[in-house]
Amino acid sequence: MMALFSMTAAFLELVDLGFDQIVDRLSGVQAFLPWYQSVCILESIFGITAIMMLAYSLDRMLVPLRSIAIEYKAISL
Protein backbone atom coordinates (compact mmCIF):
# COMPACT_ATOMS: atom_id res chain seq x y z
CA MET A 1 0.00 0.00 0.00
CA MET A 2 2.81 2.41 0.87
CA ALA A 3 4.51 1.67 -2.44
CA LEU A 4 1.35 2.74 -4.25
CA PHE A 5 1.27 5.88 -2.13
CA SER A 6 4.88 6.67 -3.08
CA MET A 7 4.19 5.99 -6.75
CA THR A 8 1.26 8.40 -6.64
CA ALA A 9 3.52 11.06 -5.11
CA ALA A 10 6.07 10.47 -7.89
CA PHE A 11 3.32 10.79 -10.52
CA LEU A 12 2.18 14.07 -8.97
CA GLU A 13 5.75 15.34 -9.19
CA LEU A 14 5.76 14.49 -12.91
CA VAL A 15 2.51 16.42 -13.33
CA ASP A 16 4.14 19.29 -11.43
CA LEU A 17 7.05 19.26 -13.89
CA GLY A 18 4.55 19.49 -16.74
CA PHE A 19 2.99 22.52 -15.08
CA ASP A 20 6.49 24.03 -14.81
CA GLN A 21 6.86 23.83 -18.57
CA ILE A 22 3.44 25.40 -19.10
CA VAL A 23 4.33 28.22 -16.71
CA ASP A 24 7.58 28.87 -18.59
CA ARG A 25 5.69 29.19 -21.87
CA LEU A 26 2.97 31.44 -20.43
CA SER A 27 5.29 33.71 -18.46
CA GLY A 28 6.10 36.11 -21.29
CA VAL A 29 2.60 36.58 -22.72
CA GLN A 30 0.58 39.34 -21.06
CA ALA A 31 -2.73 38.09 -22.52
CA PHE A 32 -2.39 34.81 -20.62
CA LEU A 33 -1.75 36.37 -17.20
CA PRO A 34 -4.92 34.89 -15.59
CA TRP A 35 -3.99 31.46 -16.98
CA TYR A 36 -0.43 31.92 -15.75
CA GLN A 37 -1.61 32.67 -12.22
CA SER A 38 -4.06 29.75 -12.25
CA VAL A 39 -1.40 27.31 -13.42
CA CYS A 40 1.02 28.62 -10.78
CA ILE A 41 -1.55 27.99 -8.06
CA LEU A 42 -2.30 24.52 -9.43
CA GLU A 43 1.41 23.75 -9.64
CA SER A 44 1.89 24.78 -6.03
CA ILE A 45 -1.02 22.63 -4.88
CA PHE A 46 0.28 19.58 -6.76
CA GLY A 47 3.80 20.09 -5.47
CA ILE A 48 2.74 20.49 -1.85
CA THR A 49 0.43 17.49 -2.08
CA ALA A 50 3.18 15.31 -3.58
CA ILE A 51 5.66 16.33 -0.89
CA MET A 52 3.14 15.67 1.87
CA MET A 53 2.32 12.25 0.44
CA LEU A 54 5.98 11.35 0.15
CA ALA A 55 6.71 12.53 3.70
CA TYR A 56 3.79 10.48 5.04
CA SER A 57 4.94 7.44 3.07
CA LEU A 58 8.49 7.74 4.43
CA ASP A 59 7.18 8.17 7.96
CA ARG A 60 5.07 5.03 7.66
CA MET A 61 8.07 3.14 6.28
CA LEU A 62 10.26 4.21 9.21
CA VAL A 63 7.81 2.92 11.85
CA PRO A 64 8.59 -0.78 11.19
CA LEU A 65 12.29 0.01 10.87
CA ARG A 66 12.26 1.65 14.29
CA SER A 67 10.57 -1.35 15.85
CA ILE A 68 13.12 -3.68 14.24
CA ALA A 69 15.94 -1.52 15.57
CA ILE A 70 14.43 -1.63 19.06
CA GLU A 71 14.14 -5.43 18.85
CA TYR A 72 17.78 -5.71 17.76
CA LYS A 73 18.82 -3.43 20.58
CA ALA A 74 16.89 -5.57 23.06
CA ILE A 75 18.73 -8.72 21.98
CA SER A 76 22.06 -6.86 21.83
CA LEU A 77 22.93 -7.26 18.17
Residue spans of the domains in the chain: they are 2-74
How sure is the predictor about 15, in pLDDT bands with cuts at 50, 70 and 90? confident
- pLDDT band for position 51 (50/70/90)? confident
The rounded mean pLDDT for the chain is: 84
DSSP 32: G
User: What pLDDT was estimated at residue 19?
Assistant: 85
Rounded to the nearest 10 degrees, what angle do helices 33-74 and 2-26 cross at? 150
